[in-house]
Structure 1
Amino acid sequence: MREFAFELSLCASLESEREAVLSRQLGAAVHGRRVVDVLLVDPGPKFDERAAITPESIPDAAIEADVGPGRARYWKDAFDCHPDRAERAMEAACERGFFERERRGGRTYVRQATRYPDDWFCDLVAVENKPDLDRPGDLERQLRTDVALGLADRVVLATASHVTGAHRNRIPDEVGIWRYHPETGEREVLREAEPLAVDEPGIEIIEEHPGRTDVRVVSAERKARARRRLAERAYGKGWRTFDQPPCARCAPDGDGVPHCEWKGRAVRASDECGADCDGHEEAEPADVDADGLRAERTPWEPDPDGRARRQAGLDRWG
């Protein structure tokens, strides 16, 4: 089982099982480099308030900016980051309805259109996919990094392999283990994940060398900001971020996952489909309403009231 097909099947299955926001392939590091395969964001008490703002991610720099819902501020005075990053964040926040802007004397002033609800998400569950444990790659180091940093509330390993005692010995005790069968959608919880200390400082493993490991301490405050940024990216991105193949032999299944009848499995259009494939038959890619599927099956809101209000008032800023 290729990891891409395994990952999409698992996402579709989890989406049908639980009321959460799912996303894939997200940067989950503070100082180093780490990409989490799948992230589940469990809604918190103020999830509806967040969903009412925008279906897209709100830039972290805009959330951190010294901009409130009261008096408008000159945007350049409100940000404590590089001017280019500040301008991108300001523009995105205005486009997505988090900021409102007005012009005074040739300058742009901004205020929050709505307060940001800090408690919109609860737990973050990071899932590392490794269908074949006989080809572990950097699995052990990746999981040790996740546990030591403690950015997610829980970390889980998902595999299609039979899990032996030797496998378990290479996996940190805090990591949960799922055995997932893509053919049937059955998921066995072989070991429950232990809660990580997300409210405490963490240790981020940056690089490992023979006899030496480079690490950085991450404060609890920095972790909280990174968790919020991770949740925001997941909310805006979702997991159906793949293209449909331009081939007559490929068609989306009921979850919108591209399935190739010639290969007999899900395929990634970007590197498996095209003239180099012996089974390729040129055709227009299938039209899949990914947003519609996501809205139907998760608490994500594609067209909130806040967005409609913003669109109605766009002529004010012409």
Structure 2
Amino acid sequence: MREYAFELALCAHYEPETDGLLARQLGASCHGSRVMDVVEVEPGPQFDERVSLCPGTIPAPVLESDIGPGTARDPRRALDVHPDRVEGIVDAAVAAGYLERERERRNGRDLVRATGRYPDEWVGSIRGVENKPDLGRPGDLERQLRTDVSLALLDEVVLATASHVTGAHLNRIPEVVGVWRFDPDTGEREVVREPTPLDSGGSGVEPLDEHPGRTEVRVVSAAEKRRARRRLAERAFGKGWRPAPEAWPDCARIEVGERDAVGPLPDCPWKGRIVDPAAECGPACEGFVSGAAPSVDPESARADATAWDPDAGERRRQTGLGRFADTE
């Protein structure tokens, strides 16, 4: 099975087993380019407060500023970013539901304030799952897992595979990495080895470029990791794992998969499997039949399956938008 379909199947079957939120394909590094296939964010003591605040990802520069729900601030002064980035960051934070705009009456400046207080302790533990359906084609698996362990940005790391796992396989990956054997057709998940918790609260070492005979590394402080963990958790919170509607191809053959209760998933009867629309679909495919893509609602499916609320903070956002419009 292709890794994309394996990844969707794993999320679809695993989501009902956890109280946390799942997301796919997120950057899980501080200075490098590591991308984790699946990220699971387990609830912390203030999880419900984060859910009720807003449904989208709050941009990191906003959370790292002193913009709060009190006095409205000038974002050009409050955000520690290049001036050319300010408007885009504010737009993203407003779209996420966290910031609201208002116009200063005296000189007409655009100001922003938060719609509520951000809960710092909403994240419990963070687990990363690296998918490798076929261990006979490991690619950079060992290097990726060594990076995860030495950096310890995540609390736990797991390898998920459809292959039979041998002692030789286990010996080639760090012993603290857990291993799951997952059958994407039946949803059966066997825990071959439990993960060992990593020191996510301390400093870490992040391998960067590799050269013959040496590897460039960077020591990452505990404070840097805290900021990176919050960014990762925020992206996971806002993104989820389901393919967005725009990712579905305009092909009349594509159907909504059988796991629609937790999906929707792009199923292609012509290929006989779940497909990766971005990589496999379109006029170049011999089975392509031009037509409208299926109507899908991944947000509603996510809301039905998890604690995430797509309408959180709606009243506050509408109030803020109305106040901004009235002062034009």
Change in CA separation of 1:76 and 1:259 when aligned onto 2, cut-off 3 Å = same
| Aligned residue in 1 for 2:132 | 130
How far off is 1:175 after superposition? 0.4
2:193 and 2:90 map into 1 onto residues whose CA distance is 44
Q: Which amino acid aligns with 1:53?
A: L
| Aligned residue in 1 for 2:219 | 217
1:269 and 1:79 map into 2 onto residues whose CA distance is 37
| Aligned residue in 2 for 1:296 | 304
2:251 and 2:102 map into 1 onto residues whose CA distance is 48
**Taking structure 2 as the reference length, what is the TM-score of the superposition?**
0.92
Q: Which amino acid aligns with 1:248?
A: A
State whether residues 243 and 265 of structure 2, in contact with CA within 8 Å, keep that contact through their aligned partners in structure 1.
Answer: no
Question: Structure 2: any 5+ residue segments left out of the alignment?
Answer: none
SS of the aligned residue for 1:52 comes to helix
The answer to whether the aligner puts 1:90 opposite 2:85 as a matched pair is no
| Aligned residue in 1 for 2:194 | 192
| Aligned residue in 2 for 1:246 | 250
The answer to whether the aligner puts 1:261 opposite 2:269 as a matched pair is yes
The answer to whether the aligner puts 1:50 opposite 2:50 as a matched pair is yes
How far off is 1:135 after superposition? 0.5
**Taking structure 1 as the reference length, what is the TM-score of the superposition?**
0.95
1:158 and 1:236 map into 2 onto residues whose CA distance is 24
Q: Which amino acid aligns with 1:219?
A: S
1:265 and 1:173 map into 2 onto residues whose CA distance is 34
1:111 and 1:10 map into 2 onto residues whose CA distance is 39
The answer to whether the aligner puts 1:164 opposite 2:166 as a matched pair is yes
SS of the aligned residue for 2:270 comes to coil
1:263 and 1:241 map into 2 onto residues whose CA distance is 18
SS of the aligned residue for 1:259 comes to strand
Q: Provide the aligned length of Structure 1 versus Structure 2.
A: 317
Cα deviation, 1:134-178, whole Å, max 9, x if unaligned, reads: 111000000000111111110000000011111111110110000
Moved more, 130-139 or 241-250: 241-250
Where has structure 1 moved over 4 Å in runs of 4 or more? none
SS of the aligned residue for 2:129 comes to strand
| Aligned residue in 2 for 1:78 | 78
Moved more, 109-118 or 153-162: 109-118
* RMSD (CA atoms): 1.5
1:30 and 1:10 map into 2 onto residues whose CA distance is 26
Question: Structure 1: any 5+ residue segments left out of the alignment?
Answer: none
2:282 and 2:98 map into 1 onto residues whose CA distance is 41
1:250 and 1:100 map into 2 onto residues whose CA distance is 39
| Aligned residue in 2 for 1:274 | 282
State whether residues 53 and 307 of structure 1, in contact with CA within 8 Å, keep that contact through their aligned partners in structure 2.
Answer: no
How far off is 1:24 after superposition? 0.5
| Aligned residue in 1 for 2:100 | 100
1:101 and 1:189 map into 2 onto residues whose CA distance is 49
SS of the aligned residue for 2:158 comes to strand
How far off is 1:62 after superposition? 0.4
Moved more, 229-238 or 272-281: 272-281
Moved more, 96-105 or 236-245: 96-105
| Aligned residue in 2 for 1:21 | 21
Moved more, 170-179 or 95-104: 95-104
How far off is 1:181 after superposition? 0.3
Q: Which amino acid aligns with 2:240?
A: G
Cα deviation, 1:1-40, whole Å, max 9, x if unaligned, reads: 1111101100101112212211101111111111110001
State whether residues 96 and 307 of structure 1, in contact with CA within 8 Å, keep that contact through their aligned partners in structure 2.
Answer: no
Q: Which amino acid aligns with 2:54?
A: T
| Aligned residue in 2 for 1:237 | 239
SS of the aligned residue for 1:73 comes to coil
How far off is 1:200 after superposition? 0.1
| Aligned residue in 1 for 2:322 | 315
Q: Which amino acid aligns with 2:323?
A: R
